[in-house]
Amino acid sequence: MVLTRRFLYVTLGLSAVVVVLPEWEALLGCAVLLVVLAALDMALAGSPRSVSVERLPSTPVRLGQPTTANSALHHHGSRRLRGQVKDGWQPSAGARRPVTVVDLTPGRTRRIETALRPSRRGDLHSEHISLRSIGPLGLAGRQVVHRVPHTLRVLPPFHSRRHLPSKLQRLRELDGATAVQIRGAGHEFDSLRDYVRGDDVRSIDWRATARRQSSQGQHLVVRTWRPERDRRVILALDSSRTSAVRIEDEPRLDSGMEAALLLGALASGAGDRVDFFAFDRGLSGQARSGMRGDLLHRMADAMSAVQPQLVEADFSQLPAQVRAITAQRSLLVVLTSLDSGSLEEGLLPVLPALAQRHLVVLAAVRDPELDRRAHARETTSEVYRAAAAERALIEKEALRRQLSSLGVEVVEATPHQLPPQLADTYIRLKAAGRL
């Protein structure tokens, strides 16, 4: 049962009758009149149960971008139905006007569009649509909740996309097409071409030069190199308890996703094969290089459902996961936290074996709050806090050194700096031919 504002105004208006006829009978009469009117209106309203709801599939959207969720209402009843429809999206879906006014004619279908601006990553749900049918007098009506679920997938925002052009440009500079030459083991031979001023004299290929001797004169020939291609890059994202920690109001997990997306886009642009998986106690999401479709899209799709779990990460399964992807030597990037407790017990035991087979990079978010605290020295409590922060930093430093001694590259940066720095590390390793 639903009563409308108009019903309230009618009730208020009837108080004039009560004033003019100050009898209890008149009062009772007015009340009975109201009840009869409401009952009549409710009976005449089109039945909201005779409407069936169909949810139209939605396309995934990046976090922060607007979208619309569509549903179709099929009216099977015999009477016209006027009223309102409310789509029950959860608050973080950001439905701006969840209530739509509808006028359904029997046998017709009406599309309902709800404008959304999601403020949270993951699968957002609307469990129901509620339909309110108001009678012809506009005094009362009926309301029914149709439990037809709808889901909208919200992908990570990928803010670090803005770094992609400059990093791709640097990769292209490594390529033999340009004159920049950085020689190193593992580089692949690209082509021979004429020497131009500015080329490194060390890259002159004397044998080819000798072969090119002609009557016109000397033609120096240089070898060009291009960065190795078709290497394997494996991105392992830790979604365990340490990833729930908020640094600069962003969970570690989200910063790790940004870094993984940038590196994935960069590496696939450079012709490498990229595999991604997220893990805590088991596998919580993955995107394989062998599958069809755009890698970046598949990665974002796999990430969207990953949420921080309050469990300890099981690093012991990491070698098996990597082996399942490839037996080849590859670049393994572990996106986790530089947290002595979880790393010493979980990752350090399996790391030597991994580092022997693969090139391991450990990327972690650095907490700028610790640096700020370490530098605040005004009051007694600030000094004690500074001492505690310094101690945490020393521990991190020791851990870093321990990892480096195992041959692991460590990238530690603030949330906004982590994606570009990880990309820089990748480019540096590629330039050095260490992949």
Partner 1 sequence: MTTATLGSAVRTSFQRWQFWLLLLVLGLLSVLLVQAMAEEDMDRYGLENTSLDGYAALAQVLEDQGVNLHPAASAQTAEELLQEHPEAALVVLSRGDVPNEQFLAQLREVSDRPVVLLDESAQLVNALFLESEVSYAGAHAGGGPVEDATLAAGGQCSIPGAVTAQDLRAPGALFYSEDPGCFTGFEDGSGPAQALVETPAGLLFGAPEAFSNHDIAQAGNAALALSLFGEREELIWYTPMGLDAMGAEEWASPTDLLPGWVIPLAWWLLLCALVLMLVMGRRPGPVVGEPLPVRVPGAETAEGRGRMYQSANAVEASAQTLRSAHLIRLARLLRLGAAPEESSILEAAARQVHRDPAEVSALVARRPRNNAELVGYAQALASLEQETEHAVLTAHTRARAAPARPENAEATPKTQPDSQQGKNSSND
Using CB under 8 A as the binding rule, the residues of this chain from 306 to 365 that contact partner 1 are: 307-308, 310
Q: Does residue 99 bind partner 1 (CB under 8 A)? A: yes
d(CA 263, CA 158): 11
Which residue in the set 158, 289, 367, 420 belongs to the binding site for partner 1 (CB under 8 A)? 367
The smaller minimum CB distance to partner 1, of residues 176 and 251, is found at 251
Does 412 help bind partner 1 (rule: CB under 8 A)? Answer: yes
Question: 269 vs 368, which CB is nearer to partner 1?
Answer: 368
| Cα-Cα end-to-end distance for the chain | 69
Which residue's CB is nearer to partner 1, number 229 or number 391? 391
Cα gap 46→110, rounded to integer Å: 15
18 exposed, middle or buried (CB, 10 Å; 0-12, 13-18, 19+)?
middle
- One-character DSSP codes across 61-94: EETT--EEEEEEEEE-SSS-EEEEEEEEE-GGG-
Q: Which amino acid is at 279?
A: F
Taking the C-alpha atoms of residue 126 and residue 200, their distance in angstroms, rounded to an integer, is 63
* Number of shown-chain residues binding partner 1 (CB under 8 A): 81
Q: Binding of partner 1 at residue 5 (CB under 8 A)? A: yes
Under the binding rule (CB under 8 A), the answer on residue 4 touching partner 1 is: yes
Task: Kindly tell me which residue out of 355, 393, 406, 429 binds partner 1, with binding defined by CB under 8 A.
Answer: 393
State in angstroms the smallest separation of the CB of 102 from partner 1: 13
* Minimum distance from residue 215 beta carbon to partner 1 (Å): 37
373 near partner 1, rule: CB under 8 A: yes
Where does this chain touch partner 1 (CB under 8 A) — which range of 154-162, 323-331, 355-363, 395-403? Answer: 395-403
Q: Answer yes or no: are the C-beta atoms of 288 and 310 closer than 8 Å.
A: no
Work out whether 380 is an interface residue with partner 1 (CB under 8 A): yes
Within residues 8-47, the interface with partner 1 by CB under 8 A covers: 8, 11-12, 14-15, 18-20, 22-24, 26-27, 30-31
Residues of span 142-161 touching partner 1 by CB under 8 A: 143, 145
Q: Is 179 in the site for partner 1 (CB under 8 A)?
A: no
Q: How far is the CB of 411 from partner 1 (least distance, A)?
A: 8
Burial profile 397-417: b = 16 or more Cβ within 10 angstroms, e = fewer: eebbebbeeeebbbbbbbbbb
Q: Determine if 381 is a binding residue for partner 1 (CB under 8 A).
A: yes
Among 56, 311, 394, 432, binds partner 1 (CB under 8 A): 394
Place of tokens 């020497």: 195
In terms of C-beta distances under 8 Å and separation of at least 24 residues, what long-range contacts does 340-346 make, across chains too?
340/395, 340/396, 340/398, 340/399, 342/240, 342/241, 342/242, 342/312, 342/313, 343/399, 344/399, 346/312, 346/313, 346/314, 346/315, 346/316
Q: Compose the 240-269 pattern: x for residues touching partner 1 by CB under 8 A, - for all others.
A: -x--xxxxx--x------------------
Query: Nearest 5°: phi and psi at 192?
Result: -110, 145
- Show contacts with partner 1 in window 59-88 (CB under 8 A): 84, 86, 88
Which of 101, 291 has the CB closer to partner 1?
101
Q: How far apart are CA 174 and CA 180, in angstroms?
A: 7
Quick check: 309 and 127 in contact, CB under 8 A? Answer: no
CB of 220 to partner 1, least distance (A): 22
